[in-house]
Amino acid sequence: MTERSNTPFSEWLRAESEPDWTAVVTHPFAAAIRGGTADMRRYLEQDFQFVDAFTALLGAAVAAADNFEARVAVGRFLGQTVADTERGYFQRALAALGGDPTPAPEPVTAEFRALMDEVRRDQDYPRILAVLCVAEWTYLGWASLEASTAEGFVHREWVELHSGPEFEAWVGFLRGELDRLGPGLDEDGRAGVLDVFRRATGLERRFFDMALG
C-alpha cells in the first residue's frame, strides 16, 4: 500500500480506488440519468435488488458502531430515507416503467449483494462503512457533477435522492467515520478496509456498464 501521510483516510481510500472511482462518477450512463435520457427500467430493476441487502447492511452498522451518536445517525437514515423515501420511489418508478420488481439478478448484482452480505456477517464496522461509503459517495459524485436537466420524475427524483444538503451530510458522516477510525487501524485493518472499498468501487463501475449495455 502507498503511504497515506496526512491525507484523510476516506480520501486515501478513494485515491487508491482509481481509475474505477472516476469512471463511476463520470460514467456515460450517469450522465444520461442527469440528462433524462437513460433507459432506467433494467437499471432500476437491478438496483432494487440491493434494497434488502443494503437495509441489512445499515442494520449491521447500527449494531457494530462504537458509539451511540453513530448508531443514531445510521438508524435515522435507514428509517427516513431507505425504508420510506427510496422504497416508495422504486415502487412508483418501476410501476411507471412496467418493470419487474423481482427479475433474475445480473452477475454484477449478485456479486455486489454478496459483498454486502460478507461485510454484514463479519460485523466489522470500518469494513461496513467502506461499502456504504462507496455506494453513497460515488452516487453523490455523479449526481452532483453537473446540474440535472431531467424533467420526468423517474430520472429527476433519482438524481434528487442522491444530491442536495441532506445527502451530502449523510456522505459526510460516512467519510467522517472512516476518517475517525482509520488512523487507529493496524496495517491488516487498513488493508481489509481498502480491499472492500476497491471491490465495491469496481462493482459500481461494472453495474453502470451493465446498465449502459
Residue 1 predicted with pLDDT over 60 = no
Residue 82 predicted with pLDDT over 90 = no
Confidence category of residue 80, pLDDT binned at 50, 70, 90: confident
* Weakest mean pLDDT among 4-8, 38-42, 169-173: 4-8
Confidence category of residue 81, pLDDT binned at 50, 70, 90: low
Residue 4 predicted with pLDDT over 60 = no
Residue 5 predicted with pLDDT over 80 = no
- Mean residue pLDDT across the chain: 94
Helix (H, G, I), strand (E, B) or coil at 190: helix
Label residues 21-60 b or e (16+ Cβ within 10 Å = b).
bebbbebebbebbbebebebbbbbbbbbbbeebbbebbeb
Residue 10 identity (one-letter amino acid)? S
Q: Say if residues 27 and 142 touch (Cβ distance below 8 Å).
A: yes
Global pTM reads: 0.95
Render pLDDT for 90-145 as a digit per residue (tens, 0 to 9). Answer: 999 999 999 999 999 999 999 999 999 999 999 999 999 999 999 999 999 999 99
Render pLDDT for 134-147 as a digit per residue (tens, 0 to 9). Answer: 999 999 999 999 89
* Domains of the chain from N-terminus onward: 9-212 (1.20.910.10)
Residue 58 predicted with pLDDT over 80 = yes
The CA distance from 179 to 164, in Å, is 22
ω into 19 cis (within 30 of 0): yes
